[in-house]
Amino acid sequence: MTGNAEIVKNALKAGLTVPAFNVPYLPMVAPVVQATVDTDSFSFVATSRIEWYKFEAKGLAAVLEALKPHDRPDYVRLHLDHVPVIDEDNQRVDYAAVLREAAALGYHSMMLDGSRLSLEENIAATREAVAIAHGAGVPCEAELGAVLGHEAGPPPPYEELFASGRGFSDVEEARRFVVESGCDWLSVAIGNVHGAISGVWRDQKKVEARLNLDHLERLRDATGVPLVLHGGSGVQREYVLKAIKKGIAKVNVGTEIRQAYESALRSTRSVQAAQDACYDRTSRLIREYFELAGTRKTVLGAA
């Protein structure tokens, strides 16, 4: 079976990307898988620590169990998203224990988020995460720079962030980080922002973010590894499509399908209606936003 590391490399070579759909509610798993199958594309079903505590994903084992009845490994694989060293509430996390659990359960790739650490601490923690992931035979993603949005309270003004380059991944730090940490993929900050998850902000439409494509090119050339775009929901489509051609081989999507699910659930009180809304939004993203329908065999290396 083609592993996640090779899948992402195949996407990079072909100028495509692998969308990673976050599932903060367990009933979202089935429609995400079905949308991927029906579009003959390939995606990751992703779960992050924040979704177990701030939403209803319940944990690594619960997401795995939700996937089992719908598992189509030629279309979807499991990815452990954001395991922070310091979380959005500024609490230290036993990240190694979470990564080891994912490895034991058979997750196909995993991510450590040390972006709230100093560069040296981030390198050290990521090196430890890489050892755990590679020991299980799976790739490890890391993050450098500050993709804001998960913090408590309202997000900062977007135009101010973009104009100042606040939190953007530093090119020379990225070069050093990849060499010294050994990470397989690197999540970068180039104007993208996470969807807010606290209070009333979690229901608001995300800002239409832009991406600094010149900065992305410099990061790509400096690192030589597949790059990842977090906070994919709401980024202006023209920027995303250009970024994919410039090294973004994986894009995380959470807010877009979560809000579709939550809105339908609130208005109908029907889980089935919420699942249908999630399916429709995921299908449209794959077909129209990312233009990935029919690309599965290419990403798997079978075309």
Rounded distance, CA 268 to CA 247, Å?
Answer: 41
State yes or no: is 94 an active-site residue.
Answer: no
> Which tens digit of pLDDT belongs to each residue from 182-230?
999 999 999 877 545 444 334 555 556 789 999 999 999 999 999 999 9
> By C-alpha distance, which of 106, 113, 110 is closest to 140?
110
DSSP state of 27: G
CB 80 within 8 A of CB 102: yes
- Among the CATH numbers 3.20.20.70, 3.40.50.720, 3.90.1150.10, 3.40.50.300, which is that of 4-300? 3.20.20.70
Beta-carbon contacts of residue 163 (< 8 Å; ≥ 6 apart): none
Instruction: Give pLDDT tens digits along the chain (303 positions).
Output: 899 999 999 999 999 999 999 999 999 999 999 999 999 999 999 999 999 999 999 999 999 999 999 999 999 999 999 999 999 889 999 999 999 999 999 999 999 999 999 999 999 999 999 999 999 999 999 999 876 655 455 666 666 676 656 678 999 999 999 999 999 999 999 987 754 544 433 455 555 678 999 999 999 999 999 999 998 777 889 999 999 999 999 999 999 999 999 999 999 999 999 999 999 999 999 999 999 999 999 999 976
Instruction: Judge residue 167's burial from the number of C-beta atoms within 10 Å of its C-beta, 0-12 exposed, 13-18 middle, 19 or more buried.
Output: middle
Q: Which of 40, 71, 81, 221 is catalytic?
A: 81
Distant-in-sequence, close-in-space partners of 18: CB < 8 Å, separation ≥ 6: 7, 8, 11, 42, 43, 44, 249, 250, 251, 299
